[in-house]
């Protein structure tokens, strides 16, 4: 039987990296042998906090061995071994910016990013999962930051979309 052009079956999306091998179909398991999903060295849960004026809260991070100049980052941090992503996001929001939010109020992550950090102590592949939280207003309180966080924190700022589009400062995540 001859196939006409244009009658191809469209390519199927790859399975998400979050599925366990037990829950994957046999096709997914075959794809997983071809497409290598990295083992993440570090998972983090991050908050995209937007206020009633549609501004995004970012924290200024001090230069360090990984980032040689300051940069602006979202609140959040590492997921402890016994934590869910949502539980880590709730804990980090409370520690870093004094925001109290319930896990049930987060929903699913709205975005994620990953990459490789070449320098120690965090060398390896990382993945950041982002939760969106909207508030009318929020007064940032950094008094519960851990010593490491407080030592790397150089302030915070609420950014408009126009601010983000025009800045020459480094903002992570990009885009």
* 119-173 pLDDT per residue, tens: 656 677 888 999 999 999 999 998 888 887 777 888 999 999 999 999 999 998 8
Residue 150 confidence (pLDDT): 73
Q: What percent of the chain has pLDDT over 70?
A: 75
Residue 26 confidence (pLDDT): 53
The pLDDT mean for the chain works out to 79
Q: What percent of the chain has pLDDT over 90?
A: 47
Q: Is the pLDDT at 66 greater than 80, yes or no? A: no
Give the span between the Cα atoms of 18 and 149, in whole angstroms.
28
Q: For 110-117, which contacts have Cβ atoms below 8 Å and span 24 or more sequence positions?
A: 110/48, 111/48, 111/173, 113/173, 114/38, 114/40, 117/41, 117/42, 117/66
Token pair 């025009």 is at which residue?
A: 166
pTM, rounded to two decimals? 0.73
């Amino acid at each position: 039987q001859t196939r006409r052009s244009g009658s191809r079956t469209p390519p199927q999306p790859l399975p998400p990296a979050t599925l366990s091998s037990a829950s994957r179909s046999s096709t997914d398991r075959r794809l997983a042998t071809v497409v290598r999903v990295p083992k993440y060295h570090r998972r983090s849960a991050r908050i995209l906090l937007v206020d009633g004026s549609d501004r995004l809260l970012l924290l200024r991070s001090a230069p360090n061995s990984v980032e040689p100049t300051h940069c602006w980052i979202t609140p959040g941090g590492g997921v402890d071994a016994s934590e869910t992503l949502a539980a880590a996001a709730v804990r980090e929001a409370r520690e870093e910016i004094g925001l109290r939010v319930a896990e049930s109020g987060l929903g699913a992550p709205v975005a994620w990013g990953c990459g490789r950090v070449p320098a120690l102590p965090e060398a390896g592949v990382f993945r950041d999962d982002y939760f969106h939280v909207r508030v009318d207003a929020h007064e940032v309180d950094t008094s519960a930051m851990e010593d490491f966080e407080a030592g790397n924190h150089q302030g915070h700022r609420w950014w408009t979309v126009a601010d983000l589009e025009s800045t020459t400062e480094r903002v992570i995540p990009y885009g």
